[in-house]
Amino acid sequence: MQALWMILGSFFFATMAVGIKIASREFGTFELVFYRGVVSVIFIALVLRSRGMSLKTPVPMMHAWRSVVGVLSLAAWFYAIAHLPLATAMTLNYMSGVWVAAFIVGGAVLYGSTERQGPLMATVLGGFGGVVMLLRPTLEQNQLFAGLIGLLSGIGAALAYMQVTALGKAGEPDGRTVFYFSLGSALAGLLGIAFSGLTSWASVSWQSVAWLVPIGILASLGQWCMTRAYSRGSTLLVANLQYSGIVFSAFYSLLLFGDSVPLIGWAGIALIVASGLTATVLRTRILPDTPAEVH
């Protein structure tokens, strides 16, 4: 059952990405971050209230840091979705697993403890090799900048996952962590809108407007499903099953948007997934409390 929760969560996130890609044709990145945050805040607040859970937290600064890195990652991911093929943007964001491995290797090198780090280092190099293969076709489309932003979204996600682990160890309930991240998203999006401006709903198509509420609900449901998967199942199993999101996004990419990814691009996606799976196995042995990867 835990495996099904993870697959369902990945499906929700991939479907949310479809909404982001459609709505981004007329709404800016900060606007989408804001609307996603507002809808999620309302949705999660109602769920927490129905469960009688207080919103008061003893560790507000930990939530603030998680929100900062999480929102930066979210905004970068939304930008990548808007400017890259959906499967490419999704894969670059899911590089987070490889980035966590890179952080572990970097820390080992910094402290002079590189024993048994060779296999983990190999997965990191394999993941970056996959990125080169994946972004090679986008270079011809002058989409290198969006590709780099997509990579940054993966780095931010990796840092956010580590903070989620710290919050869990501090005794914070998952629901409250999701709530404050959603609140941070709404506030950050509002701040961005103050500089970039707000799009008039009267000037946009109904298709874009119609996706604004589902984006927030799908994000909340995705977080909910993944939280249940990680809290009740094998961390290693559910962490690997998260990559099913790439399969869903590839299906959407071909079926809905007609994105053309050359064979070398698909090979790059496969290499990134393989590196991520292997890195997850290796780092779980090194760090048993591998964080839940929730967007």
Average pLDDT over residues 11-38: 94
CA–CA dist 251, 110 (Å, integer): 41
Average pLDDT over residues 94-98: 75
Q: Is the pLDDT assigned to residue 178 strictly greater than 80?
A: yes
What one-character DSSP code corresponds to residue 25? T
Average pLDDT over residues 290-295: 47
- If 0-12 CB within 10 Å is exposed, 13-18 middle and 19+ buried, where does residue 213 land? middle
Side chain identity at 117, as an amino acid letter? Q
Q: Is the pLDDT assigned to residue 115 strictly greater than 50?
A: yes
Q: Cβ distance 203 to 27 under 8 Å? A: no
Greater model confidence, 251 or 189: 189
Q: Length of the chain, please?
A: 295
Q: Cβ distance 282 to 130 under 8 Å? A: no
Query: Residue 277: what pLDDT?
Result: 75
Query: Residue 290: what pLDDT?
Result: 47
Contacts of 241 (CB under 8 A, 6+ apart): 3, 6, 7, 10, 229
Greater model confidence, 45 or 247: 45
Average pLDDT over residues 183-194: 94
CA–CA dist 38, 53 (Å, integer): 19
Q: Give the three-state DSSP class for 295.
A: coil
CA–CA dist 10, 8 (Å, integer): 5
Q: Is the pLDDT assigned to residue 246 strictly greater than 90?
A: no
Band of pLDDT at residue 113, cut at 50, 70 and 90: low
Q: Which two tokens stand for residue 165?
A: 């682990």
Average pLDDT over residues 94-120: 70
Q: Give the three-state DSSP class for 246.
A: helix
Q: What is the pLDDT of residues 268-290, one digit of tens each?
A: 888 888 887 777 777 666 555 44
Ranges of each domain in the chain: 2-286
Write down the mean pLDDT value for the chain.
81
φ, ψ (nearest 5 deg) of residue 201: -65, -25
pTM: 0.83
Greater model confidence, 143 or 258: 258
- List, as own/partner pairs, every contact residues 145-148 make where C-beta atoms lie below 8 angstroms and the sequence separation is at least 24, other chains included: 146/79, 146/80, 146/82, 146/83, 146/84, 146/89, 147/80, 147/84, 147/88, 147/92
Average pLDDT over residues 201-205: 86
- List, as own/partner pairs, every contact residues 254-262 make where C-beta atoms lie below 8 angstroms and the sequence separation is at least 24, other chains included: 254/87, 256/18, 257/21, 257/85, 257/86, 259/85, 259/86, 259/87, 259/88, 260/85, 261/85, 261/87, 261/88, 261/137, 262/137
Listed residue (163, 45, 140, 7) closest to 85, CA to CA: 140
